[in-house]
Amino acid sequence: MSTVQIPPPQVKVATLPIDQKRGLNAMWCVIATEFMLFVSMFGAYYYLGSNKDRWADHVAPKYWLALILMAILLASSAVLMWGEKQAEAERFSMARIACWITILIGAGFMALQGYEYSVEWKDETPYSDSYGSIFYTITTLHALHVIAGLLMLLYIGVMPRYGWTRRTPHKPYKTVAMYWHFVDAVWVLIVLLLYIIPNIQRYMHVHH
């Protein structure tokens, strides 16, 4: 006696719309986390120097090198912002050029920061005291973030396309640019808190 084979019911798989902002939202979470890390470092910096006037007793770091480094990073952000506009306008070749220019500027920043370390090392080292330790911890932590940003930019630089794809319409160029701008903004805070203010304190202490 033959049995009748009943075909399984056809199940329609519901396809959810792709979230076009998930990459940007994820990067905002990364930035928020990394920002709190730097806030903790800045808090430790001022906690170690509170009520001791020790920053005024130290040779303040060379702020002119830090300002040059800040100008370099701000220039790189300006170039990358221009690249973002090119990517949005689907002028991907120009966006790629802007990305590689940013990479070169970022590499120049790292080289100059290495020189700055060689200058600062004559007056202060990471193992001199708590000031030297926290100063190099914060600046080295930032340098690691710059390296991470450069690696992301390298990925964007070799990416075949930046526009919409069938699998995901995320915006990799803008997402990576957000991280790079964040790294630049952190350096502005570092220049203010670790370079400018200590030099002002040192000046006031000497001329008091």
Q: For the chain, what is the largest distance between any 2 Cα atoms, rounded to a whole number of angstroms?
A: 109
Q: How far apart are CA 180 and CA 158, in angstroms?
A: 17
Tell me what the mean pLDDT of segment 19-39 comes to.
Answer: 88
Residue with tokens 């990925």: 155
pLDDT band at 159 (very low <50, low <70, confident <90, very high): confident
Confidence of residue 125 (pLDDT cuts 50, 70, 90): confident
Q: Is the pLDDT of residue 197 over 60?
A: yes
More confident residue, 13 or 48: 48
Is the Cβ–Cβ distance between 116 and 66 less than 8 Å?
yes
Residue 145 reports pLDDT greater than 80? yes
Length of the chain: 208
50: left (phi over 0), alpha (psi -120 to 50) or beta: beta
Average pLDDT, the chain: 83
What pLDDT was estimated at residue 9? Answer: 62
Domain ranges of the chain: 59-206
Assign domain 59-206 one CATH number from 2.40.50.100, 1.20.120.80, 2.30.110.10, 3.30.1330.40. Answer: 1.20.120.80
Q: Which residue has the higher pLDDT, 20 or 29?
A: 29
Burial call 65-78: b when 16+ CB within 10 Å, e when fewer? bbeebbebbbbbbe
